[in-house]
């Protein structure tokens, strides 16, 4: 049996594929496993607390894991060790989430394009049909991640506290979430995954994207992402489309298409959950 995983910082989707038939046999969801944020015990705990995953420990022969925080050597090696400890009989491959987005948005191996991830975090790279090229090294949610879920979550909280959110939305916002200062500071500074905590607020923005405030905030974030990330590939976007993966990108297609017209690039595919594309890629290859 083959186990394929696509993980962000908030959640991780797992699919078990029958190696003999190439057909998915089971879908599992756990909390996200970001080795750049979580330690060994936390990563292992998330996996072992899943009864479905624990039941597969002796039957999995291959693990293909794609995840946020797996783009640099140290966290990638950390997660590889954890997965090998859990799935002792399996060959383990760990790659960054960029490759999941590439395989999902460009199922043809020889296809080229710029690929963006807009979920809990954000990223952008160019795939030439064989190799991935990244012009910007991500420094995480504190310094980067423009137009991501955690970016918009932070903007919403700031606007709420700086009284720049419309009054009707402010009332709705405080009814939806616990916005007491102690709760916010506890989750940001005392709990693991503060980026995932911030990203949960982005759902409010998606639900209110038709309001002037919501639309303008989304456009502001997408313009910033275009300027800091997409336009790094000025030559590539003249010849190739820009694809998007992630729930935030999927729900904000109209705003992204509007920004694309402003900045002169052509959008391609929008994929909400890369995991389905990964199954197709691995069964074909």
Domain ranges in the chain? 2-101+275-284
Hey, what are 16's tokens?
Answer: 């078990």
Burial of 273 (0-12, 13-18, 19+ CB in 10 A): middle
Mean pLDDT of 258-285: 88
Residue 120 DSSP class: S
Residues 6+ apart with CB under 8 A from 51: none
pLDDT > 90: what percent of the chain?
A: 75
Alpha carbons within 13 angstroms on the beta-carbon side of residue 27 total 6
pLDDT beyond 80 at 86: yes
For residue 33, pLDDT over 70 is answered with: yes
Strands (E), the chain: 2-7, 11-17, 24-31, 62-67, 91-96, 113-118, 122-127, 132-133, 242-245, 267-271
Residue 21: per-residue pLDDT: 78
Q: d(Cα 32, Cα 95) in Å, to the nearest integer?
A: 15
> With bands split at pLDDT 50, 70 and 90, how would you rate the model's confidence at 107?
low
* Res. 175: pLDDT tops 90: yes
- pLDDT: is 280 or 159 the higher one? 159
Mean pLDDT over the full length of the chain: 93
- Alpha-helical (H) ranges within the chain are 40-48, 51-54, 73-86, 97-105, 149-161, 167-176, 181-189, 194-199, 202-207, 212-228, 236-239, 247-251, 253-263, 274-284
Q: Which of 102, 187, 111, 197 is nearest to 152 (CA)?
A: 197
SS3 146: coil
pLDDT at 61 over 70: yes
* Cα 238 from Cα 127, distance rounded (Å): 14
Enter the pTM of the model: 0.81
Question: How many residues appear in the chain?
Answer: 285
CA distances to 17, 71, 86 from 56, rounded to whole Å, are 12, 27, 10
Q: Is pLDDT at 67 greater than 80 in this prediction?
A: yes
Architecture of domain 2-101+275-284: 2-Layer Sandwich (3.30)
């Amino acid at each position: 049996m083959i186990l394929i995983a696509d993980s962000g910082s908030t959640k991780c989707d797992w699919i078990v594929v029958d190696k003999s038939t190439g057909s998915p046999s089971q879908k599992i969801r756990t909390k996200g496993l970001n080795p750049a944020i979580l330690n060994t015990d936390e990563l292992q705990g998330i996996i072992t607390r899943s009864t479905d995953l624990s039941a597969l420990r002796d039957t999995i022969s291959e693990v293909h894991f794609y995840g946020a925080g797996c783009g640099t050597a140290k966290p990638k090696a950390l997660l590889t060790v954890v997965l090998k400890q859990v799935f002792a009989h399996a060959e383990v491959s760990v790659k960054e989430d960029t490759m999941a987005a590439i395989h999902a948005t460009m199922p043809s191996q020889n296809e080229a394009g710029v690929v963006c991830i807009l979920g809990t975090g954000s990223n952008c790279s160019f795939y030439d049909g064989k190799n991935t090229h990244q012009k910007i090294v991500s420094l995480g949610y504190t310094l980067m991640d423009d137009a991501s879920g955690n970016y918009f979550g932070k903007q919403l909280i700031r606007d709420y506290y700086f009284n720049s959110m419309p009054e009707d939305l402010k009332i709705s916002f405080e009814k939806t979430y616990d916005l007491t200062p102690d709760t916010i500071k506890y989750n940001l500074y005392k709990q693991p995954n503060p980026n995932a905590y911030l990203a949960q607020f982005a759902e409010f923005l998606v639900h209110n994207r038709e309001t002037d405030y919501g639309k303008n905030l989304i456009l502001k974030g997408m313009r910033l992402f275009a300027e800091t990330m997409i336009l790094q590939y000025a030559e590539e976007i003249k010849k190739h489309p820009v694809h998007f993966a992630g729930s935030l990108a999927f729900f904000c297609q109209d705003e992204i298409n509007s920004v694309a017209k402003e900045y002169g690039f052509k959008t391609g595919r929008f994929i909400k959950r890369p995991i389905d594309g990964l199954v197709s890629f691995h069964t074909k290859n």
